[in-house]
Structures are given as structure tokens and as C-alpha cells.
């Protein structure tokens, strides 16, 4: 009894004074995402999934309690870098997860991985530099490299026999990556490749008119977030939905679907995770998420959930002792946990080697618009930049 009391007091003291490296000090996790401003909806979805993961873990990793410190990057690279710096240098966190945006991740990247004490897990952004020559042993991804998803779409279009394709995307780095990605694998004719102004172009009438005149077999788009809502709505309103099918990556998801609604029905997209993937971890995740929030989780959320589970798997294997970073990295590299996307391996650059699926927008039995898996586009895909990474 006395002992227990003393232990509690020590924990309290350790928490109050932030004493480092106490045996009972909690595991600290930083989570950087966008929680304010126009893109806060994505950050909120990620946080819900992180909190759900915490609940499923019972608030403990490897027998130790853990705390999560959320930081808002405000959708600005310099702010994201400053927040990451704070997490590493002041809060001295064991892991940092999150990162929706490539530019925020790239700005924060060196500060975190060069420091050596913190392991960075991207739950979304996957710029080619980090998969290639900038790869680092302190970095892991639970998402994908930017090019992979559109490449999977391209493969699927080949098997489906779509003869000509019209590409449209926003004129910024990820937009160009995505269109380049589909061109890597798609073998049919590219009718045209249009880049629209970013982020201020909200009207796509000129593009719709061009597409109608070009009469392609399909349109391929990449418009994340609000722009995806606009593009899909305008595509449907222009009447093109009756003549030209829409193929997309990252433009129709659980966050945008409530706004796209019926207009998005029948569109096809590629993704490494879909809410109906038939594995136990996923069933539990999706069911509990829906019970709590009344909506389907998005892929942003699924990847965040996996990021926390990946951290937990390493802590579990090491019984909560994260002091030896080499051991932590080795455990993480095993990816020894039940991912909601099904089992996967890490490649030499610490990006997942994983399957990509084709999803169709449908109505669920309750009448809610959502996506369901209709095919596997590619199996165990390795990203095209892994060869450039000097790590083994």
C-alpha cells in the first residue's frame, strides 16, 4: 500500500515537473495537423481517429500510459516547422505523427529526423524527395508515396480498356505529381493535360467545355478537399456525368462526400484503404468510428489510426522502454501490427509496400453516400523512388 502510494506520488511529481527518462514517465506523442482555418475538417477527422486508437489501446502502450500533444500547423510550412521543433526540443516527444501536406512535412522534416531522438511518422503526405534521396531511418510512412495512388489508377484503366483520358489537376507540386503518376502506367491516349490555378480557381466551366469538345473516354482528376467538391459538382451540372466517366484520386472521400452527395455516385477512385476492407481491425475501427461520430472515417483518419498503432506495436515489443532508438526503429520496421488496410511490409525507404484498391461511390443500406471496394488494382506495390533511397 505504502509502495503504491509512493509510486503514484512519483508519477504525479514526474508529470508536474516533466522529469525526463523516469521509468514511469508516460510515452509522449506529438501530432501535427491542420486544426484551424479552412482545412480544419481534415485535421479534425485525423484527431478523431487518433483518439479512437487511444481508446482501443486503453490509453497504454507496452504497459505505459501515453499522452498525445496536438499541434496546429495552420496549413503553413513555417508554422508546421516551428510546432514540430517545439515538440522535439521542448516536449521531447518519442514520436511525431500527422502531416497532411507535403510542404509542411518537407519544411519540418530535417528538424525532426536530424535531431535523432524522435521518430517521424507521416500519416498522409508522401513527397518523392523523402521516398528517394532524402530518406531517413527516423522516418516512417503509414500512407503512400504521392505517385503510387494515381499509378494504381492507371493500371486499372489499362485493364478496363479505357482508350483515351483527359487529365485535369491543380497547378501545384502534388497536382503535377499525381498527373505524372497516372501517365507512368496508363497506356492509352492522353487527350489533354490541363492544370488549373491553385488555390483560387473555383470555377471549372472552361475546362468542362473543353472536355465536352474533346469527347474523351474518361476524365482523371486530382482535387483534394473543397476543390474536389467543386469539380465533381460542376462535372455533374455540366451534364458530362452522363457521357464521360470520372476517375479520381484523393478527390472523393468521407470528408467531401457529404457535400458531393448523389452527384458523385458511380465515380471510381484508387486508394490503399477503403472502409469496407474485410479485416477484423478495419471492421472494428470503422464500426466504432461510425458509432461515435455518425459518419464514415476518411483515409486520413485510417492512416492516422495506423500511425498510432505502429507506435504502439514498437512500444509493446519493447515493453514500454523506448530509450534505445535502434531497437525502436527495428521494431517499427517489422510493421508488426494489425493495420486497418490489412498486413503490409515496409520497403527500404520505410514507405509501405501495400495493395491499392479501386473504390466506387455508392449508397449504403441506410442511404448514406460512401465508397466500396470493387477491385484490387495492384498488389504489393513498391513506390518508384525507393530505388533512389540509399538505405537498405
Partner 1 sequence: MIAALRTPRGLATALILLVLAALPLLTQAFDQRYLLSIGTRIVIWSIAAVSLNMILGYGGLVSFGHAMFFGIGGYAIGILSAEGISSGWIQWPVALLAATAWAVVIGALSLRTRGLYFIMITLAFAQLVYYVGSGLEAYGGDDGLNISRSRFPGLIDLRDKASFYWLCFALLCASLWFCGRYANSRFGLVIRGAKSNELRMTALGFPVFRYRLAAFTIAGALGGLSGILLANEGAYVSPAMMSWMKSGDLIVIVVLGGMGTLFGPLYGTIAFFVLEEALPPILNLAHKGWGEYWMIVFGPLLVLIALYARGGIDSLLGRRHD
Partner 2 sequence: MEYLLLQVLNGVQLGLLMFLLAAGLTLTLGIMDLVNLAHGSLYMMGAYIAWTLIGVTDSFVLGALLALPATFLLGVVVEAVVIRKLYARDHLTQVLATFGLILFFNELVRALWGPAGKSIAVPGFLNRTIEILPGVPYPAYRFAIILVGALVAILLAWLVARTRLGMLIRAGASNRRMIGALGVNIELLFSLVFGLGAVFAGLAGLMSAPIASVRIGMGDDILILALVIIVIGGIGSIKGAFIAAMVVGQIDIVGRAFLPDILKTFMSSSAASSAAPAISQVMVYVLMAVVLVWRPTGLFGQRT
Binding site for partner 1 (CB under 8 A): 35-37, 40, 72, 76-78, 81-82, 85-86, 89-90, 102-103, 106-107, 109-111, 127, 129, 134, 171-174, 176, 198
State the minimum distance, in angstroms, from the CB of residue 110 to partner 1.
6
Q: Is 380 in the site for partner 2 (CB under 8 A)?
A: no
Least CB distance from residue 222 to partner 2, whole Å?
14
Largest CA distance in the chain: 82
Q: Which does 199 bind (CB under 5 to 8 A by kind): partner 2, partner 1, none?
A: partner 2
The conformational region for residue 121 under phi > 0 = left, psi -120 to 50 = alpha, else beta, is beta
- How many whole angstroms separate alpha carbon 337 and alpha carbon 309? 7
CB 262 within 8 A of CB 367: no
* Rg of the chain in Å (alpha carbons): 21
Residue 259 interacting with partner 2 (CB under 8 A): yes
CB of 172 to partner 1, least distance (A): 4
- Does residue 203 bind partner 2 (CB under 8 A)? yes
Interatomic CA distance for residues 359 and 184, integer angstroms: 21
Instruction: Report what 324 binds from partner 1, partner 2, none; CB cut-off 5-8 Å by kind.
Output: none
| Site for partner 2 contains 243 (CB under 8 A) | no
Q: Which residues 6+ apart lie within 8 Å of 116 measured at CB?
A: 138, 325
Using the rule CB under 8 A, which residue among 9, 12, 202, 287 binds partner 2? 202
Angle at 136 between CA 18 and CA 95, to 5 degrees: 25
Q: Which of 36, 323, 324, 376 binds partner 2 (CB under 8 A)?
A: 36
Pairing of the two strands 27-33 and 64-72: parallel
Torsion angle (degrees, nearest 10) of CA 91, 327, 309, 48? 10
Q: Which stretch binds partner 2 (CB under 8 A): 34-42, 104-112, 129-137, 363-371?
A: 34-42
- We find the least distance from the C-beta atom of residue 20 to partner 1, in angstroms, to be 10
| Minimum CB–partner distance for residue 88 and partner 1 (Å) | 8
Among partner 1, partner 2, none, the one that 85 touches (CB under a kind-dependent 5 to 8 A) is partner 1
Which residue's CB is nearer to partner 1, number 81 or number 227?
81
Distances 230 to 204, 260, 290, 315 between C-alpha atoms, Å = 8, 8, 26, 43
Give the one entry of partner 1, partner 2, none that residue 258 binds, where binding means its C-beta sits below a cut-off of 5 to 8 angstroms depending on kind.
Answer: partner 2
CB of 169 vs partner 2, minimal distance in Å: 10
Determine, following the binding rule CB under 8 A, whether residue 207 of this chain makes contact with partner 2.
yes
113 or 264, CB closer to partner 2? Answer: 264
* Contact between residue 162 and residue 218 where contact means Cβ atoms under 8 Å apart: yes
Choose, by CB under 8 A, the member of 107, 255, 268, 314 that binds partner 2. 255
Q: Count the neighbouring beta carbons within 10 Å of the beta carbon of residue 356.
A: 28
Residue 27: name the closest of 95, 104, 83, 85 by CA: 95
Pairing of strands 119-122, 139-141: parallel
User: Residue 116 touches which of partner 2, partner 1, none (CB < 5 to 8 A by kind)?
Assistant: none
Residue 91 or 360: which CB sits closer to partner 1? 91
* Smallest separation (angstroms) from partner 2 to the CB of 323: 38
Peptide bond into 204 cis (omega under 30): no
Q: Is 197 an interacting residue with respect to partner 2 (CB under 8 A)? A: yes
> Judged by CB, which is closer to partner 1: 146, or 355?
146
Helices (H), the chain: 2-17, 40-56, 77-89, 102-113, 128-131, 148-160, 173-185, 205-214, 226-237, 257-260, 280-293, 299-317, 325-333
* Interface residue list for partner 2 (CB under 8 A): 36-38, 40-41, 43-44, 171, 192-200, 202-203, 205-207, 209-210, 213, 226, 229-230, 233-234, 237-239, 255-256, 258-261
Amino acid at each position: 500500500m505504502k509502495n503504491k502510494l509512493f509510486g503514484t506520488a512519483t508519477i504525479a511529481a514526474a508529470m508536474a515537473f516533466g522529469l525526463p527518462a523516469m521509468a514511469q514517465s508516460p510515452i509522449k506523442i506529438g501530432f501535427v495537423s491542420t486544426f484551424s482555418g479552412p482545412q480544419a475538417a481534415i485535421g479534425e477527422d485525423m484527431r478523431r481517429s487518433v483518439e479512437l486508437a487511444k481508446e482501443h489501446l486503453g490509453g497504454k502502450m507496452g504497459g505505459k500510459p501515453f499522452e498525445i500533444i496536438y499541434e496546429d500547423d495552420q496549413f503553413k510550412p513555417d508554422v508546421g516547422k516551428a510546432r514540430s521543433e517545439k515538440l522535439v526540443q521542448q516536449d521531447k516527444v518519442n514520436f511525431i505523427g500527422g502531416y497532411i501536406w507535403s510542404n509542411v512535412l518537407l519544411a519540418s522534416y530535417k528538424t525532426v529526423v536530424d535531431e535523432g531522438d524522435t521518430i517521424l511518422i507521416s500519416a498522409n503526405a508522401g513527397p518523392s524527395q523523402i521516398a528517394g534521396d532524402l530518406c531517413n531511418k527516423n522516418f516512417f510512412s503509414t500512407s503512400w508515396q504521392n505517385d503510387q495512388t494515381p499509378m494504381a489508377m492507371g493500371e486499372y484503366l489499362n485493364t478496363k480498356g479505357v482508350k483515351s483520358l483527359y487529365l485535369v489537376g491543380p497547378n501545384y507540386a502534388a497536382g503535377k505529381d499525381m498527373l505524372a503518376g497516372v501517365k507512368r502506367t496508363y497506356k492509352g491516349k492522353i487527350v489533354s493535360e490541363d492544370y488549373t490555378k491553385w488555390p483560387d480557381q473555383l470555377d471549372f466551366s472552361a475546362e468542362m467545355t473543353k472536355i465536352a469538345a474533346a469527347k474523351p473516354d474518361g476524365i482523371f482528376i486530382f482535387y483534394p478537399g473543397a476543390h474536389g467538391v467543386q469539380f465533381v459538382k460542376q462535372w455533374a451540372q455540366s451534364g458530362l456525368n452522363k457521357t464521360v466517366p470520372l476517375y479520381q484520386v484523393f478527390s472523393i472521400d468521407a470528408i467531401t462526400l457529404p457535400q458531393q452527395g448523389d452527384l458523385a455516385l458511380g465515380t471510381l477512385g484508387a486508394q490503399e484503404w477503403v472502409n469496407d476492407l474485410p479485416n477484423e481491425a478495419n471492421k472494428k475501427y470503422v464500426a466504432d468510428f461510425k458509432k461515435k461520430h455518425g459518419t464514415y472515417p476518411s483515409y486520413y483518419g485510417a492512416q492516422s489510426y495506423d500511425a498510432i498503432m505502429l507506435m504502439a506495436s514498437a512500444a509493446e515489443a519493447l515493453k514500454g522502454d523506448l530509450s534505445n532508438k535502434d531497437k525502436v526503429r527495428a521494431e517499427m520496421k517489422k510493421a508488426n501490427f494489425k493495420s486497418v488496410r490489412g498486413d503490409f511490409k515496409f520497403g527500404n525507404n520505410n514507405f509501405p509496400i501495400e495493395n491499392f484498391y479501386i473504390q466506387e461511390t455508392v449508397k449504403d443500406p441506410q442511404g448514406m453516400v460512401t465508397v466500396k471496394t470493387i477491385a484490387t488494382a495492384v498488389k504489393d506495390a513498391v513506390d518508384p523512388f525507393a530505388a533512389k533511397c540509399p538505405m537498405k
